[in-house]
Amino acid sequence: MNLFTPRLLRLCAALVAAGALMPAVARCIDEDNVETRTSTNANGMPIDAGSARANLQNMVREALRRSQSIGSTRLLAEAAAIDVDETRASRWPQLTANGFIGATESRAPDVVESRGKQGRAGLAISAPLFDAGRTSDLIDWRKNLSEAARLNQISAEEQVALQTVSLAIERSRYRLQVQVYQQYARKMSCLVEALETIVRADKGRTSELVQAQKNLQQAEIQQAQTVSTVRQIETRLRRFVGDSLPPTEGLSSLLLTPPALPDLIAQAERAPDIEQLQSQALAAEAYARSVSATRWPQVNVVAGNNYVRGTAPGSNWQAGITVSVPLFTPTVGYTVESSAKRAEAAKLQRLDAIEARKFRMADVHEQALSSFDRARRTVDVLRDSDRVRNFTLQQWQQLGRRSLFDVMASEGEHYGLRVSYVNALYDGEQSTALLYSLGLGISVWLR
């Protein structure tokens, strides 16, 4: 009787392959924690959240310093403040000097009274006494426009701060994803090495080696794409903060608690861009009042003196009050009506902006809560997934209990869940940052 039947030979080969496989595959079991590490740095040391916050503050400060758009809005705010001083100065007396030198002739009918060279010099002063509040309304108009320009500068600074924080968060997100894909690629590389050992003993397992190599290549592609995404984000971030980019460790430990929705709603009307709309509405009202005041009499005090040399020498002076009463100005009525409607439109724009912001806050708040809830649920699934993939890998060593397809599927699902966890966590952080920006501002939170 032949003891070495084909079936027995195949069984012996399988046992030999299993003996070679077991120590190699044992090294492929991950020793990483189930949850993607977000609370320790690359050296495994605990992350100081204060340092991460300080890094964000420094980036925002540098972005504000470098921003040309902030410089533009600052100059516009300064110009608007100067306009206020200009309008306020119109209340002061106006002093003017005049002069003339040349030929002159004075005649009555058919009689020349004087002819010759003449020089004249004069001085005049005038000051408003009564203008129905027009100057005061114009000052209020300019003051509210100046305040709107100042608030516009704050809003522009807030936008730059939010963009900087968002890019920093995205940079941290994808750098963490790179770590996950590196772990996935290491796992696939380990399996490929184990299968290469098997194939040397059993050529019939070559297809499994090809399958593992394909998954390794896919993991490397995902890693390379994510590294490219990190570079793109860092390029955009350098536009704001320059070439010195701080580390990303610790950013995942910030912005984990969304502000309470009632507090946000209460802050809606105090947001810089909403207050800017309020100032613009007040400015429109003041301008409408100033236009209406032009229909009332204008009273000024004037005084002047003229001194003449040459032909008909002499001097004369005058002082008194001038009154100007508009009797028929058909365009003023239309101007008053249009300016009043613009003021009313500005009020409605502000109310609409407040309503839209409150609904936006509620929407983003729900997104933040949903993202953090998704992250917590994903952690629970990750723990089970970690046990399943390790059990599957161990059972695969026992030739026949599990297939390589099961191993690949469990590994792909597990690392996909890790990426989902990272995305859920950072989606929540992005929503939280936006919530602070919709309120008093992310800059206020950073301070």
In the chain (447 residues long), the average pLDDT of successive 10-residue segments reads: 41 39 51 47 53 90 93 95 93 89 75 73 88 91 95 94 95 94 90 83 80 89 94 94 86 89 92 94 93 89 86 82 86 89 94 95 96 94 87 72 78 91 95 94 88
1 domain residue, yes or no: no
31 with 161, same domain?
A: yes
Q: What is the pLDDT of residue 111?
A: 59
182 with 272, same domain?
A: yes
Examine the fold and report which residue of 309, 328, 347 is the final residue of a domain before the chain moves on. Answer: 328
5 domain residue, yes or no: no
43 domain residue, yes or no: yes
Examine the fold and report which residue of 328, 347, 379 is the final residue of a domain before the chain moves on. Answer: 328
2 domain residue, yes or no: no
The structure tokens listed for 328 are 């028929």
Q: What is the pLDDT of residue 115?
A: 74
**Coil, helix or strand at residue 254:** coil
Beta strands in 15-110 (DSSP E): 94-108
CATH number of the domain that residue 118 is part of = 2.20.200
Q: What is the pLDDT of residue 411?
A: 86
370 domain residue, yes or no: yes
Taking alpha carbons only, the member of 141, 159, 156, 145 closest to residue 78 is: 145
320 with 204, same domain?
A: no
6 domain residue, yes or no: no
112 domain residue, yes or no: yes
126 with 28, same domain?
A: no
Q: Which domain holds residue 318?
A: 94-130+298-328
Q: What is the pLDDT of residue 40?
A: 47
19 with 120, same domain?
A: no
Query: Residue for token digits 């003041």?
Result: 286
CATH number of the domain that residue 160 is part of = 1.20.1600.10
259 with 380, same domain?
A: yes
Examine the fold and report which residue of 282, 308, 328 is the final residue of a domain before the chain moves on. Answer: 328
- Number of domains comprising the chain: 2
Rounded Cα–Cα distance for residues 306 and 311 (Å): 14
Asked if 137 contacts 343 with a C-beta cutoff of 8 angstroms, the reply is: no
138 with 283, same domain?
A: yes
195 with 308, same domain?
A: no
Q: What is the pLDDT of residue 80?
A: 95
CA angle 104, 108, 110 (to 5 degrees): 105
Taking alpha carbons only, the member of 201, 260, 281, 301 closest to residue 432 is: 260
Which amino acid does the sequence have at 104? T
Asked if 367 contacts 427 with a C-beta cutoff of 8 angstroms, the reply is: yes
213 with 99, same domain?
A: no
From residue 341, alpha-carbon distances to 273, 281, 292, 321 in Å are 22, 11, 13, 36
Rounded Cα–Cα distance for residues 219 and 190 (Å): 13
Q: What is the pLDDT of residue 246?
A: 87
Q: Which long-range contacts (CB under 8 A, 24 or more apart) does 47-54 make?
A: 47/249, 47/250, 47/253, 48/250, 49/250, 49/253, 49/254, 51/250, 52/249, 52/250, 52/251, 52/253, 52/254, 53/250, 53/254, 53/446
78 with 113, same domain?
A: no
Rounded Cα–Cα distance for residues 277 and 341 (Å): 16
Rounded Cα–Cα distance for residues 428 and 447 (Å): 21
Q: What is the pLDDT of residue 399?
A: 54
193 domain residue, yes or no: yes
439 with 322, same domain?
A: no
Taking alpha carbons only, the member of 148, 89, 130 closest to residue 286 is: 148
Q: Is the dihedral of CA 42, 46, 51, 53 positive or negative?
A: positive
Q: What is the pLDDT of residue 45?
A: 45
303 with 417, same domain?
A: no
